[in-house]
Amino acid sequence: MDRDHADALLREMLRIRRFEEKAAELYSLGKIRGFLHLYIGEEAVAVGAMQALTPEDGVVATYREHGQALARGIPAGALMAEMYGKANGCSRGRGGSMHFFDVARRFYGGHAIVGGGLPVAVGLALAARLQSRAQVTACFFGDGAVAEGEFHESLNLAALWKLPVLFLCENNLYAMGTALARHQSQPDIRRKADAYGMPSDAADGMDVVAVEEATRRAAERVRRGDGPVLLELRTYRFRAHSTADPELYRSKEEVAEWKQRDPIALFSARLQAMGILTDADQASLEASVGGEIDEAVRAAEAGPWEPVEDLTRDVYTGTP
Ligand SMILES: Cc1ncc(C[n+]2csc(CCOP(=O)(O)OP(=O)(O)O)c2C)c(N)n1
Ligand SMILES: [Mg+2]
């Protein structure tokens, strides 16, 4: 493996991990409020998949989107400030953790409604087609979203119209407290694409290289103009669903077993074994990522609150 690329993958995963650990700490201090869905354990999915996308491609994600936003290049300070509700946040402090948005980077949310991003992605792909723009729209969604009508409607239309959508299912086995096998008659998610005549694939979501390879293959296919592809990435979240979750639906042993396959630890061990990462490299990477996160917190702390006079700006109200 090319050393620079390996470094970049490891750095991106570490940035997400440290950013979220800090966010959890700030949440317990009351600096961040509302919901906070951590991606810890799933970093290889966002980082691996993002390698296959160009800046022209669109990205749609869920409320568990800190990883995608960071990997897409939205500055950590703009994300931290968003979670503080500050005006220098990427959504001007109006969205918070679940609603990151950045038009310039073609990052179209952050969607709090389960499955809500799927029709948006299909619409973006249709717009790209109508405007003759070569653009793939990558749509991340959870295993819980496959139970939603929007999932089926979106796959159907995208396949029927051969739209350039890359459907990326982050299958972490649970939708809040509901295990996949408790809500799906067919728990093999990729097979759902068969009903729409859509090609599909699956990859180990704890292995950043496997995710990158599978996403590159799928994205190339979409780019050729053959229509959408469904790619299932099998992963696991190490933390609770959100901030208030006693985790009674899974055993500590199961969580511990998955932690043996921590995507960051796995990848750095692999690089060490290949002789392209030393302990000193890892320490300097940690220091540089730590500095970036500290800087992000400073930006959030120093950021301005939106002036009260602006609070009704962009608020949609119907006329009675
Ligand atoms: C339409 C809708 N129904 C229910 C909820 C409440 N809810 C929030 S997250 C969630 C679980 C979704 O699980 P999954 O899609 O697997 O994503 P994960 O949280 O595992 O990343 C549910 C049911 C919601 N936000 N939207
Ligand atoms: Mg899930």
Q: How far apart are CA 272 and CA 266, in angstroms?
A: 10
Return the bridge partners of 142, or none.
170
Are 232 and 189 in contact, with CB atoms under 8 Å apart?
yes
Report, as an integer, the average pLDDT of 101-120. 98
> How confident is the prediction for the chain on average, in pLDDT?
97
Beta-strand relationship, 200-204 and 229-234: parallel
- List the one residue out of 172, 185, 121, 175 whose CA is nearest residue 144: 175
Q: How far apart are CA 314 and CA 82, in angstroms?
A: 17
Residue 320's pLDDT band, with cuts at 50, 70 and 90, is low
Residue 311's pLDDT band, with cuts at 50, 70 and 90, is confident
Question: Which residue puts its alpha carbon closest to atom 25 of ligand 1?
Answer: 113
What would the pLDDT profile of 229-272 be if each residue is shown by its tens digit? 999 999 999 999 998 899 999 999 999 999 999 999 999 999 99
Among the atoms of ligand 1, which is closest to the Cα of residue 37? 19
What is the distance in A from the centroid of ligand 2 to the CA of 260? Answer: 19
- Among 98, 114, 170, 250, which residue has the most ligand 1 atoms within 8 Å of its CB, making it the best to mutate? 114
C-alpha distances in Å from residue 254, one per residue of 90, 193, 251, 320: 36, 29, 5, 54
Answer yes or no: is the C-beta of 173 below 6 A from any ligand 1 atom.
no
Q: How far apart are CA 58 and CA 105, in angstroms?
A: 8
Q: Return the SS3 of 102.
A: strand
Are 119 and 153 in contact, with CB atoms under 8 Å apart?
yes
Residue 140, token pair as written in the block? 């991340």
Are 78 and 89 in contact, with CB atoms under 8 Å apart?
yes
Among the atoms of ligand 1, which is closest to the Cα of residue 112? 25
Judged against a pLDDT cut of 70, whether residue 39 lies above it is answered with: yes
**Residues of the chain with pLDDT > 90: what percent?**
96
Q: Return the SS3 of 139.
A: strand
Answer yes or no: is the C-beta of 145 below 6 A from any ligand 1 atom.
yes
Location of structure tokens 């950043």: 208
Report, as an integer, the average pLDDT of 26-51. 97
Residue 199, token pair as written in the block? 């090609």
Location of structure tokens 């396959």: 261
Q: Return the SS3 of 132.
A: coil
Are 272 and 278 in contact, with CB atoms under 8 Å apart?
yes
Residue 315's pLDDT band, with cuts at 50, 70 and 90, is confident
Residue 44, token pair as written in the block? 């290889």
**Residues of the chain with pLDDT > 70: what percent?**
100
**Phi and psi (nearest 5°) for 230?**
-105, 125
What is the distance in A from the centroid of ligand 1 to the CA of 144? Answer: 6
Number of Cβ within 10 Å of residue 308's Cβ equals 7
Q: How far apart are CA 86 and CA 240, in angstroms?
A: 26
What is the distance in A from the centroid of ligand 1 to the CA of 74? Answer: 24
Residue 95's pLDDT band, with cuts at 50, 70 and 90, is very high
What is the distance in A from the centroid of ligand 1 to the CA of 194? Answer: 24
pLDDT at 318: 77
Residue 189, token pair as written in the block? 């998610």
pLDDT at 249: 97
Number of Cβ within 10 Å of residue 141's Cβ equals 27
* pTM confidence score: 0.97
Question: Which residue puts its alpha carbon closest to atom 21 of ligand 1?
Answer: 142
Beta-strand relationship, 58-60 and 137-142: parallel
Q: Return the SS3 of 215.
A: helix
